[in-house]
Structure 1
Amino acid sequence: MHRSPSAEAEIGDELAARRPDLAARYARALPGARAAVLTRLWRGLVHDPLPWAGVRETSRDGVVLRPADGRILSGPPADPYATAAYVTAVRLGGREYADPARLVTDLAVPHSAVFAAELGHSVASLALSRAANPGHDARPDRPEEWPVRDWEWEQRVVDGHPFHPSCRSRPGLSVADQLAYGPEHRPVVGLGLLPVPAEECLVSGAWPGWLRDGGRLLVPVHPWQEAHVLKRTAAERLAAHPLMALRTLALPGGPQVKTAFSARLTSSVRDISLGSVAASGALSVLGEAVAARAGGLLHVTRTVAAVAAGSPDFAAVLRHSPQEYAAAGERVVPVAALVTTGLPDRPGWTVRLARLALTVGLRLLELGVALEAHGQNLLVVLSPAGEPLRLVYRDLADIRVSPARLARHGIDVPPEVPDRVVTDDERALRRKLFGSLVAGALAGTAGSGAQLRAVLEGAVRDVPSGPDLDALTGGPVPAKALTLMRMSPGTAGDQWTELPNPLQVACF
């Protein structure tokens, strides 16, 4: 059995010095964290179009990959929709591997060294997150015990992305940083306010008066960004609570603030492009316009304002909290947090969620807007009894917009919308929605291919028919090729794979 101790030992040593009360729980959490990351990695190795993977042979007993170097890589059947950590070991060249970082190191394919380091950080950070949340897998189906505040829901998501092998990779953050800023550690973060002359800023929307100081704008900045990138120290701070995205924080009684965070988290460096700042207001108006045609089933969080002080590394976006779209007694829950409620275990509940989400997503796609409706961007409004009533969508930066479809419904594309989100390519539009909603949010809630099949079978019967629904039910399901993307650093943008359609495959 082979194991890479570097990232695990590094975090373990720092934890022993800084938080010795967590050291033993961290050590106990490591085997489960390795299995969780290895399960995600095995999904990618089996289902992503990796150029070096060679011939794949699949049977009921498992999967065999035959790379060009002649070695055999084998493991259990790979359900692309499974969220449980069921892969505890795979075999390469006759040797068994339980450690995903050591496996990728020994694969020795292009770019494997950098990816292996990411996987090591992912395992170690995931173990740290679980050590600080020993009851992370509890699923209490008791609405009276559920959170009320928006950030409390977000902070219940301990494991991160359900399918990304770098689900908890935070290589730029020390243990102290993770404890101070990671939402699963429930810190209060001192959001810095750095003054910048208004004439030096790119502003979209009306920058609020409470973030002005005479002729200067007070730009919210994450303290990690202050210390490591901007090399400035704020004189004023706001108490804020980190959300699932880590760089987005909630102000009690106020908006949510998306900040620049120039470290690689999961798979991306989290800056805010100048184009996103310039387009934020127009995208917000467009999003609200199409949401108004969804029969009252969708709200899009309004962007209050956005600012960039000359750089993507020094920018911020203010938007309404999704909680503003809840009536008395209702709760607004990110789809990624639903598994912490026990609701998906109720008979027929996930079918009702899927019916609502598909109805809304397909309606907006028909209008000409493809949402990136993964478990973080998509939220559900729950009745006091826990029934799904409506949806809330946030963060329009990565949607896709079809001028031709919008024009058929009398809607113009605002000129400020950046070219990168504009396309009439039906395949690109469907990939954006189905890859995030079906292969992401709904699969993560269902938990397996068999469960997703039952959910979709129950939901699609009541969804309005059309060519987009036909494309969903009649072909493979698109999904981002997350492992391929991490092993293709020279290729910009999303890369895709096609997963077996659970409506067409009886079992996984």
Structure 2
Amino acid sequence: MTAAPPRATGPGTTGPWTTERPAADHQLLRVLGALLREDVAGLRTRGTLLHRADGPWLRLGTGHGQALLLPVREDGFQSTWAARLPLLRQEPDATDLTTCDAVLAALARLAAPEDAPGYTAFAEECRSDLAARHLHAATRDTVLARLTDSHGPRPAHWHGHTGSLAHDTLAARTDHPVHPVPRGRKGLGEPELRSYAPEFHPRFALRWLSLPAEHVTTAPAAGSGAASHPGPDVTPPTGPARETGGVRLDDGWPTPAELGLPRGHHEGHVLLPVHPLTAAGRLHDALAETGLARHAVLAERPLVHVVPTLSMRTVALADRPGTHLKLPLATATLGLLNRRTVTPGSLRDGAAGQRLLEGVLHRETRFAGRVLLADESCYAHAGHELLAVLRRTQPAGLDDATVLPLAALLAPAPDGGLVIGHLADRFHGGDRVALADAVLTLLLDWQTTLFGHGIALESHQQNISLVLGGGTDGPRLLLKDNDGPRVHTRRLAEAWGCAEPTADALGFADRRICVTEDGAVADLFTAITVHLCAGSLAFGLAAHGTAPLGRLLGLIRDRLAEAIDRTAVTRPGAAAVLRARVLDAPELPVKAMVTAGTLLTKARSGAADINKHYTTGPNYLLRKA
């Protein structure tokens, strides 16, 4: 069978599936593709392949002479087959199911009764996503005109952390490479999205909560960069007060007097910034649950204007865009169970992850100045996932550089072209493949080096930013949100020449982070670095006709092989694992985001972590004759 043209396989592109089909059809194709990839109701493993005049179909018998039929085409990116034509057909009555509601209702009838709420919830996510797609289309010209007025017409010249926020807006208007309905947010309608979501590039003022200091746990900044690294024994400093002259949590905060707080809250209290959506929503419940309602005062006066980043719950100070505040929201994205709150443990884990990466940079000096870390060691919480703040400080000295998340590379620019095209024109003589090659070379070298230290990061296309220019030749990477890694403690000990550390010694609250085998680390490396960062870029560029898909996939394989060869010099065991589990494996792990995030409870899916629950797909990196 002849493979489908590369342009039909690009994930998250703005090719034919978004420009020539209505939004509902495009969405249904993505949903059917995800359900097939994740083998919902056995579509993939129990389906029988039929060859019909219009192409291949998969037939799933449902009993009593009934069946569901899905037209498919060859894919290759995380799935052997992808859906074609926006329908699922019921037989023998030949009823075409052409809406997400109808498709999910049919599949729910095949599921266990206890799973029915998950199908209902996913149908609601589809409706929310579709409403957001229509809203994005209706506001596209207005938003792009505002970005152009503020930053100019050429994204490659959107500089510094202010320009990065504009790139975040473009990235927020593109599809996720895996999750089929990424644009909706649980419980938020059009007014809330327009006022607070990054795809609309709004500006708003924060609310402020005063709490007695004895009820708030704080961690001051510990500085950033390789100068502040754990010692060779990887034992972190004890306690939260690891001060090295970094910024204070409340630097730039309004005063209690400016907020109009009563005099009793001027001394001995801590001010926590609160997102307006949380202040208007579940803040009262959080205070009641912690017993803090009678001690807390929410200032009536909003102060300090912010702009949302690509992660809606994280906002940048409008007048200091290098300072970000991660604030909990009582919503969910990319799955019902993927809540946007901020747990106290995740704050501790993010700081520990940062220290771990600083330790790697201290030992791997060739990445000095090429891999940058945001400082995420400064935070506060009052023992509840809605009463917390992380203060992120971005690296200084990037005012003249172009800084953007990897998720923005394939985003449409204001002139209708791709952002990566603008970047290539400025930095690589118009050669998009050369720019992609430079990015992939550094990305795969860095992540493979981390694997040699026993570390894999949840550093997807939203959590890694590309830094170009600013007086430095070649690309740089900027990392943030390091709270969900996997760490193979034995490999870490071998690389650092120390006793095997425990989660406590490394400073992690989440015991799932530390593992004693390669599988969990290799799976995360593959699902995030290979698929979401490298593979999605290659398939997306091919979908836009930049270069043949085979050339782009060969580029990934070659750069990954070179990185593995470098790692083999000092970490032969780790390199052998990557060769066997990534380069030469017949199949690769793939995130099962719909199953783990919405359709099934953790008890039913068996997912210890919904963001690290996998199915399998074809290995598009295999060399073929």
Aligned CA distance change for structure 1 residues 48 and 245 (closer, same or farther; 3 Å): same
Question: How far did 1:62 drift?
Answer: 3.7
State the match for 2:408 in structure 1: 337
* Partner SS, residue 228 of structure 1: coil
Distance in 2, matches of 1:386 and 1:338, equals 20
Cα displacement string for residues 452-493 of structure 1 (whole angstroms, at most 9, x for unaligned residues): 523323423432322243021111222211122221124452
Question: How far did 1:37 drift?
Answer: 2.4
Matched, 1:459 2:577: no
Question: How far did 1:315 drift?
Answer: 0.9
Aligned CA distance change for structure 1 residues 114 and 406 (closer, same or farther; 3 Å): same
Question: How far did 1:270 drift?
Answer: 1.1
State the match for 1:222 in structure 2: 275
State the match for 1:5 in structure 2: none
State the match for 2:88 in structure 1: 91
State the match for 2:355 in structure 1: 285
Map 1:374-413; keep pairs closer than 5 Å: 374-383=460-469, 389-410=475-496, 412=501
Question: How far did 1:233 drift?
Answer: 5.5
Question: How far did 1:236 drift?
Answer: 4.1
State the match for 2:69 in structure 1: 73
Map 1:208-219; keep pairs closer than 5 Å: 208-210=249-251, 211=253, 214-219=267-272
Aligned CA distance change for structure 1 residues 446 and 117 (closer, same or farther; 3 Å): same
Q: Is the 8 A contact 2:402 2:467 kept in 1?
A: yes
Distance in 1, matches of 2:155 and 2:555, equals 23
Matched, 1:258 2:330: no
* Partner SS, residue 312 of structure 2: coil
Aligned CA distance change for structure 1 residues 78 and 239 (closer, same or farther; 3 Å): farther
* Partner SS, residue 168 of structure 1: coil
Aligned CA distance change for structure 1 residues 72 and 433 (closer, same or farther; 3 Å): same
State the match for 1:13 in structure 2: none
* Partner SS, residue 77 of structure 1: strand
Map 1:348-387; keep pairs closer than 5 Å: 348-383=434-469
State the match for 2:7 in structure 1: none
Say which of 601, 606, 613 aligns to 1:489: 601
* Partner SS, residue 238 of structure 1: strand
Cα displacement string for residues 14-41 of structure 1 (whole angstroms, at most 9, x for unaligned residues): xxxxxxxxxxxxxx99953323322332
Distance in 2, matches of 1:79 and 1:326, equals 43
State the match for 2:136 in structure 1: 129
Q: Is the 8 A contact 1:30 1:123 kept in 2?
A: no
* Partner SS, residue 269 of structure 1: coil
With CA pairs under 8 Å and 6+ residues apart, which has the higher RCO, 1 or 2?
2
* Partner SS, residue 330 of structure 2: strand
Look up the equivalent residue of 1:38 and give its one-letter code: L
Distance in 2, matches of 1:483 and 1:116, equals 11
Map 1:15-94; keep pairs closer than 5 Å: 32-53=22-43, 55-57=46-48, 61-69=55-63, 70-77=66-73, 79=75, 81=77, 87-93=84-90, 94=94
Aligned CA distance change for structure 1 residues 347 and 285 (closer, same or farther; 3 Å): closer
Aligned CA distance change for structure 1 residues 281 and 73 (closer, same or farther; 3 Å): same
State the match for 2:578 in structure 1: 469
Distance in 2, matches of 1:382 and 1:225, equals 36
Distance in 1, matches of 2:21 and 2:105, equals 18
Cα displacement string for residues 305-341 of structure 1 (whole angstroms, at most 9, x for unaligned residues): 11111311111111112xx265463222100011131
Report the TM-score when normalising by structure 1. 0.84
Aligned CA distance change for structure 1 residues 378 and 286 (closer, same or farther; 3 Å): same
State the match for 1:19 in structure 2: none
Report the TM-score when normalising by structure 2. 0.69
Aligned CA distance change for structure 1 residues 184 and 502 (closer, same or farther; 3 Å): same
* Partner SS, residue 235 of structure 1: coil
Aligned CA distance change for structure 1 residues 461 and 30 (closer, same or farther; 3 Å): closer
Question: How far did 1:130 drift?
Answer: 2.7
Aligned CA distance change for structure 1 residues 134 and 30 (closer, same or farther; 3 Å): farther
Q: CA RMSD in A?
A: 3.2
Distance in 2, matches of 1:64 and 1:467, equals 37
* CA radius of gyration, larger in: 2
State the match for 1:417 in structure 2: 508
Say which of 610, 613, 617 aligns to 1:499: 617
Identity %: 22
Question: How far did 1:382 drift?
Answer: 1.5
Map 1:92-171; keep pairs closer than 5 Å: 92-93=89-90, 94-108=94-108, 109-110=110-111, 111=116, 112-134=119-141, 142=154, 145-146=157-158, 148=160, 149=162, 150-157=164-171, 158-171=173-186
Q: Is the 8 A contact 1:377 1:393 kept in 2?
A: yes
Question: How far did 1:391 drift?
Answer: 1.2
Cα displacement string for residues 148-201 of structure 1 (whole angstroms, at most 9, x for unaligned residues): 422111111103423212211213002100100110111002222211111101
Structure 2 gaps of 5+ residues are: 1-17, 146-151, 222-247, 256-265, 285-297, 412-418, 425-430, 543-548, 566-574
* Partner SS, residue 465 of structure 2: strand
Question: How far did 1:230 drift?
Answer: 0.6
Distance in 2, matches of 1:29 and 1:178, equals 23
Cα displacement string for residues 117-176 of structure 1 (whole angstroms, at most 9, x for unaligned residues): 1111111112212321149999x9956544542211111110342321221121300210
State the match for 2:6 in structure 1: none
Q: Is the 8 A contact 2:522 2:578 kept in 1?
A: no
Say which of 385, 396, 408 aligns to 1:312: 385
What is the aligned residue count? 476
Q: Is the 8 A contact 1:439 1:477 kept in 2?
A: no
Farther off after superposition, 85-94 or 391-400:
85-94
Aligned CA distance change for structure 1 residues 405 and 75 (closer, same or farther; 3 Å): same
Say which of 306, 319, 344 aligns to 1:274: 344
Q: Is the 8 A contact 2:73 2:84 kept in 1?
A: no
Cα displacement string for residues 187-235 of structure 1 (whole angstroms, at most 9, x for unaligned residues): 0022222111111012223553434753211112111011111145553
Say which of 538, 547, 554 aligns to 1:446: 538
Question: How far did 1:271 drift?
Answer: 1.1
Q: Is the 8 A contact 1:49 1:481 kept in 2?
A: no
